[in-house]
Structure 1
Amino acid sequence: MARKWEGTAGLLLLGLAVLLDRTVASRTAEKRNRDWRDAALRAAYRRGVPVTVLASRTRLTQGWVKTVVTGGKPPPVDEAA
């Protein structure tokens, strides 16, 4: 009886491995997750969360976060009063 379930369990585990590979580990999934993260960072920045907080919470550098929130353009220069 155990052998009957071994094959079925093996096929289920294989299906799980394929699902995880396609949704978590593939290059397409990594890019999709990065795009979602970047969109969330931009939305938080537009709602007033400072770059320093975004960088520390996501463990990214401030320079990278500035690049993400400005859409790849250099951030605007703050003029001294």
Structure 2
Amino acid sequence: MARTWEGVAGRLSLQLAVLLHRTVTGRAAKKRHQHWRDAALRAAHRRGVPVEVIASRTRLTQRRVRTVVTGGKPPPVDEAA
């Protein structure tokens, strides 16, 4: 009896792995997750969270965060003094 459940559990585990692989690691899923992440980053910035804090918490570069919060436009160039 235990061998039957092991086979079923194995097939269910495989189906779960396939589902996760297709929904989490696929190209479309990656773009969807990045879109959601970027929307959350923009919302946080609009509500007053500084770029430096967002970058440190998300482990993204400050340049990437600035690009996201400006809507895809490159961040303004900071001139050196």
TM category (shorter chain) comes to 0.7 to 0.9
**Cα shift at 1:26:** 1.4
Secondary structure of the structure 1 residue equivalent to 2:28: helix
Aligned pair count?
78
Counterpart in the other structure of 1:51 = 51
In the aligned structure 2, how far is the partner of 1:18 from the partner of 1:24? 10
Structure 2 spans left out of the alignment, 5+ residues: none
| TM-score, structure 2 normalization | 0.82
- Root mean square deviation of aligned Cα: 1.8
Offset, 1:76: 5.4
Instruction: Measure, in 1, the Cα distance between the counterparts of 2:21 and 2:60.
Output: 25
Which letter does structure 1 place at the counterpart of 2:12? L
Q: Please, which runs of 5 or more residues in structure 1 have no aligned partner?
A: none
CA contact (8 A) 2:41 2:54 kept: yes
Residue in 1 that maps onto 2:7: 7
Q: Distance in 1 between matches of 2:67 and 2:6?
A: 51
> Moved runs in structure 1, 4+ residues, more than 4 A?
none
- 2:4 partner letter: K
Q: Which residue of 2 aligns with 1:31?
A: 31
| Percentage of matched positions with identical amino acids | 76
Task: Using structure 1 for the length normalisation, give the TM-score.
Answer: 0.82
Superposed CA deviations along residues 41-71 of structure 1, whole A, max 9, x for unmatched, are: 0000111111111111111111110000001
